[in-house]
Structure 1
Amino acid sequence: MHDRRALLALLFALPLVAWGGLSLYYSGILGPLSAWAAAGYTLASMAIFFLSRTWKKAVALFTLLFTLVLVVFLLQRPSNTRDWQPDLALLPSAKLDGDRITLHNIRNCDYRTETDFTVQHYDKTFDLNALTSIDLFLVDWGLGSVVHTMLSFGFNNQQYVTISIEARKEQGEGYSTLRGFFRQYELTYVVADERDVVRLRTNYRQGETVYLYRIRGDKALFREVFLDYFRSINQLNNTPAWYNALLSNCTSVLRGHTRPYFRKVLWDWRLLANGYADEMAYEKGMLDTSLTFAELKRRSIINPKAREADRDPDFSQRIRAGLPGMDSPAQTK
């Protein structure tokens, strides 16, 4: 190396080298050559900084090489026509008619085990004037600081529709957080019965703890959030989008739909470490504050209630029985 500044430039470029190599490796756009392309890009990037006569030339050559990799990444296009897993094959949609909204393809799988189930869907019409609650589910699979989030919309405290924002997986495909950064999954909204998406996590998956909280607010705000969800859900039927483990995941997309709640929250580290989202919501007065947060969190675990309720048609009512704040009526504005 003829210029020590090239070494400094390499240190700054290393994250881009790593990203570019992984992007090529996971892209699949080059078929069986993807792994070779990733290795070649990484080696060429390193060589540029060691063999170039000046740091400016090294930066210029690396920028050109990285731009080519970025173009390959951007050439990947999301699709709605892949060989999807059966439980993710049908996209939900909604049709609004005044104050009534008809939801299509509400999922309600009949589970025997986590992986053995019968896929079922149904359509249902709801009166938006009866939308009286929003509840937040946090699903902790052991990491604590990172969880899965879902919102459930309640109609007169009798009927509930849960929306889970997920990576849409193909047949035989598992979920990998690392792959989730590189356009490997499409984004999907699972609109489901609570006996599906909640019971799957409390009764059939091992090692997952589910918390349930009632969100404070008024009916006008609930309606705004609910309709915003379904505008995006309908749009995905025509314009598929990529899932991204950082930028377009269960919590970042949820936050976009619930922005009326966050107008006074410019930034909070717990928006990224979403395992502490309930603590943030408690501090902002969005949850029941009649108890300490520690006591609220302890009493909000629903796994035992869900296992007892299991297939009961009153599953939603039973998992809420006795939970703090569940009797709080929505305000009308």
Structure 2
Amino acid sequence: MARRDASDLATRLGRQAEAVCKRYLGAGRRQGNYWQVGDVRNTPGKSMFVRLKDTAKGPAGKWTDAATGEHGDLLDVIRESLGLIDFADVAEEARMFLSMPPDPEPQPQPKQHARTPAPSGSAEAARRLVAMCQPIGGTLVEAYLRGRGITALHGCGNLGFHPRCYYRPDEHGPTETWPAMVAAVTDLSDRITGAHRTWLAPDGSDKAPIDIQRKAMGDLLGHAVRFGLSGDVLAAGEGIESVLSAREFMPGMPAAAALSAAHLAAIQFHDALRRLYVVRDNDRAGDGARNTLTERANAVGIEAIALSPMLGDFNEDLRTYGRDALMAHIRVQLAPQDVARFMLLAA
């Protein structure tokens, strides 16, 4: 089968320019012969114009953002609106939209793009994905977390919602898109170094019914998904849902999710940190992370206190035993001064 190049795909998309805009730039609307939206990442607004018909000024599908000077074609729209990084993925999504047969040959990176594609899985790719997301309020992410008993969503600016996040279980699997909770992984200076995706069911009731429901990308070691401003006390654990479940009852305490036991054991410490609560999972890996992190903290003068769940993790506790039982269970594990300082805020 002859290889269809980027130019051919862009031309075919241009013939259905308005349909492309409706799918990938749904925050905008038609204005005459143009589709108007905030930017190529589907932000509401009016600064970007997509040409819907061929004119003397150029072919359908070409767009310009008057606010930034960015410009491109509908392949760029697909790439930026979905957070895709590799052109092969963009081309496959375009073919799915056009109902074209798959191309068995690899596609070259298109030179006409306004932005150079970031290496797949890199920190830059993670930063671009995070930038594509919207706040979680009123989205499927909020529905998903509330369904797991998590209601204290203040300080969750590092969580975002992507309505059509690219998913492929492996390099040979088919391309799919699912809604996703996207978490920004940051270093001690709050610079984004990675991202973590949790794909969700279309109604937000649970995780998506796929083989691999979570994936991380970028530079993760030593870094974490952070909730609240750093201070002299920190609660650090593995999973996002487990950490947020513990934080339900101490909403003023900064918290961090390192995303795995190995990464929890290696988490970096702020200079101001004086007491560290290790929100451990109740398994062998959790034991190892607790022991390593306690040893590291004590070596630099930081008091380390383990917070242990009744079951596998604190979200399982919350969903099984309820809020009052978990709050009582956490209260007796905290230092007395932190009960008064943090937990009374939840009363």
State the TM bucket, normalised to the shorter chain. Answer: under 0.3
Instruction: Tell which has more relative contact order, 1 or 2 (C-alpha 8 A, sep 6+).
Output: 1
Higher helix proportion (structure 1 or 2): 1
Query: Structure 1 length as normaliser, TM-score?
Result: 0.28
Query: Structure 2 length as normaliser, TM-score?
Result: 0.27
